[in-house]
């Protein structure tokens, strides 16, 4: 058995080639920000520093960021195929390159008036009409601004009415007002009339800005939901979880989440339930389809296609965090190794997901509570170019383990390994198709004791 394991590892290693190392121009302890292209960004949130990195050319450029900048996103400008940085300032949005800063839109909307402590990614760029050009959405408490890019690179402004949900909190006789919403809407033809619509989701509401021949409506329509949201019977809370076309029938489906109201560490053992309401034109079916539940700090997602059949499969994550683990975190500065049970459910046409998983994986992962559950060191992408998602996780300081996607059981039984010195922070490992050959490559970000940061790639 040992001989077989060593042989399998050798096969994987022989299929990789090292890319060149690239020292960065800024100091950063934040993860690299991906763009679905060989372009990535590095950011120093405290010093308001931003670096644009082209992994395909092994080059980078530090971008000029003003002291009044609030945050950034990225997008495409007319007559250019390169991903550019879009920076939000107190007077609007700018396209920023090393040698030129160009104001794209002028605005005094809610986001431009934010008081921010850190310069971070803010999602305000999307493509509302699927023309390949980036548009800009800037929300307000009641009046919202949508800037639609034209073929000449100019932006046309469209105002529409949408009331952001507001919540109040009282602290020591002080009233604090906050809002909680998914900042970018989903672009989808919600009513199947041939025009793209913007679908907004909050914790308890779904609203749609319908598209038409001349552009978009002047206000959103609120969609009747098939269940009650907020506090429900049994001391539980129901919220929306996701909005996506799960069964590929052209309609957005609604996933909801029900969690009991708990206190203290009892939440680590709480059962979290998920319901699926299939979409139909301008709404959702009333009957709920029960999805697999999770326990405590775990989660559920329907995002990846592990068997390459064109349908999204379901994945649950159950995390075993007990008193022993909490004590280990306290002694380890918030870090600890935990056992994680991953269950994968194949999507079947018409019947969707069965109650029993197609495959299960139990792995030991290091988590860092300072970074919340985002610190879980596992990654998903097509590593070998067979159009199936593969599962990759960090299983040591110098070992990446891979379960390849398969048509039979979603993920293969055998674990392949790559031996390579890895960054200490699992968030400093990302998957990017650098040479655009259909295979995700490994990108590692390292920081030395002097704070110097470098990037190293491992190509597939």
Q: Give residue-wise pLDDT tens across range 381-421.
A: 999 999 999 999 988 788 999 999 999 899 999 999 999 99
Residues 424-432: what's their mean pLDDT? 91
pLDDT, tens digit, 9 for 90 and up, residues 155-167: 999 999 999 888 8
Residues 6-44 pLDDT 10s: 333 333 444 555 667 999 999 999 999 999 999 999 999
pLDDT class for 335, splitting at 50, 70, 90?
A: low
169 pLDDT exceeds 90? no
Name the token pair of 158: 């469209």
Contact partners, residue 270, CB within 8 Å, separation at least 6: 259, 260, 262, 295, 296
Q: Tell me, what's the pLDDT at 5?
A: 32
Which of the two residues, 312 and 364, has the higher pLDDT score? 312
pLDDT-derived band at 365 (thresholds 50, 70, 90) equals confident
Residue 89 has pLDDT above 50, yes or no: yes
β-pairing verdict for 71-75 and 120-121: parallel
Q: How far apart are CA 318 and CA 154, in angstroms?
A: 48
pLDDT the model gives residue 322 = 61
CB 16 within 8 A of CB 460: yes
> In 241-388, where does DSSP find H-type helix?
323-331
Say if residue 425's pLDDT is above 50.
yes
Mean pLDDT of the region 36-61: 96
Residue 340 pLDDT level (bands cut at 50, 70, 90): confident
Least confident of 98-107, 108-117, 125-134, 179-188: 179-188
Say yes or no to pLDDT of 2 above 70.
Answer: no
Residue 79 has pLDDT above 60, yes or no: yes
Sign of the C-alpha dihedral computed for residues 132, 133, 138 and 144 taken in this order:
negative
What are the pLDDT digits (tens) for 293-309? 998 777 899 999 999 99
> Where do the domains of the chain lie?
64-179
Span 219-233, average pLDDT: 96
Mean pLDDT of 105-124: 92
- Which pLDDT does position 362 carry in this prediction? 87
Residue 368 has what pLDDT? 62
Q: Which residue has the tokens 């042989």?
A: 7
Measured CA to CA, the distance from residue 225 to residue 219 in angstroms comes to 19
What does pLDDT average to over the chain? 88
Label residues 176-211 b or e (16+ Cβ within 10 Å = b).
eeeeebeebbbbbbbbeeeebbbbbbbbbbbbbbbb
Across the range 78-93, mean pLDDT stands at 95
Instruction: Say if pTM beats, i.e. exceeds, 0.75.
Output: yes
In which band, very low, low, confident or very high, does the pLDDT at 75 lie, cut at 50, 70 and 90? very high
């Amino acid at each position: 058995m040992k001989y077989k394991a060593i042989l399998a590892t050798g096969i994987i290693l022989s299929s990789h080639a090292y890319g060149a190392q690239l020292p960065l121009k800024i100091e950063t302890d934040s993860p690299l920000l991906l763009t679905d292209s060989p372009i990535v960004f590095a950011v120093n949130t405290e010093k308001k520093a931003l670096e644009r990195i082209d992994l395909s050319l092994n080059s980078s450029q530090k971008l000029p960021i003003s002291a009044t900048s609030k945050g950034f996103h990225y997008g495409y400008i007319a007559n250019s195929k390169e991903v550019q940085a879009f920076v939000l300032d107190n007077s609007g949005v700018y396209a920023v390159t090393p040698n030129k800063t160009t104001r794209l839109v002028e605005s005094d909307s809610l986001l431009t008036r934010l008081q921010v402590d850190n310069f971070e990614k803010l999602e305000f760029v999307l493509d509302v009409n699927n023309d390949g050009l980036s548009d800009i959405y800037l929300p307000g408490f009641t009046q919202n601004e949508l800037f639609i890019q034209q073929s000449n690179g100019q932006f046309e402004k469209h105002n529409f009415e949408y009331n952001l949900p507001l919540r109040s909190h009282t602290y020591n006789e002080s009233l604090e007002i906050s809002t909680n919403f998914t900042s970018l809407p989903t672009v989808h033809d919600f009513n199947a009339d041939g025009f793209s619509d913007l679908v907004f989701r909050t914790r308890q509401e779904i609203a749609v800005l319908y598209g038409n021949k001349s552009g978009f409506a002047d206000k959103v329509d609120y969609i009747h939901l098939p269940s009650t949201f907020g506090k429900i019977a049994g001391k539980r809370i129901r919220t929306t979880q996701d909005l996506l076309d799960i069964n590929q029938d052209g309609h957005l489906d609604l996933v909801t989440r029900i969690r009991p109201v708990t206190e203290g560490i009892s939440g680590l053992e709480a059962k979290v339930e998920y319901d699926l309401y299939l979409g139909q034109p301008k709404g959702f079916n009333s009957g709920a389809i029960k999805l697999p539940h999770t326990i405590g700090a775990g989660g559920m997602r329907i995002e990846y296609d592990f068997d390459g059949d064109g349908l999204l499969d379901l994945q649950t994550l159950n995390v075993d965090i007990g008193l022993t683990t909490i004590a280990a975190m306290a002694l380890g500065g918030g870090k600890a190794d935990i056992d994680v049970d991953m269950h994968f459910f194949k999507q079947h046409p018409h019947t969707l997901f069965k109650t029993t998983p197609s495959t299960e994986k139990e792995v030991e992962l290091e988590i860092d509570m300072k970074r919340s559950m985002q610190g879980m060191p596992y990654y998903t992408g097509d590593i070998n170019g067979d159009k199936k998602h593969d599962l990759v996780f960090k299983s040591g300081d110098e070992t990446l383990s891979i379960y390849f996607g398969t048509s039979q059981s979603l993920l293969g039984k055998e674990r392949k390994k790559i031996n390579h010195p890895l960054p200490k922070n699992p968030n400093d490992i990302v998957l990017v198709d650098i040479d655009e050959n259909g295979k995700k490559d490994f990108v590692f970000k390292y920081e030395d004791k002097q704070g110097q940061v470098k990037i190293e790639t491992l190509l597939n």
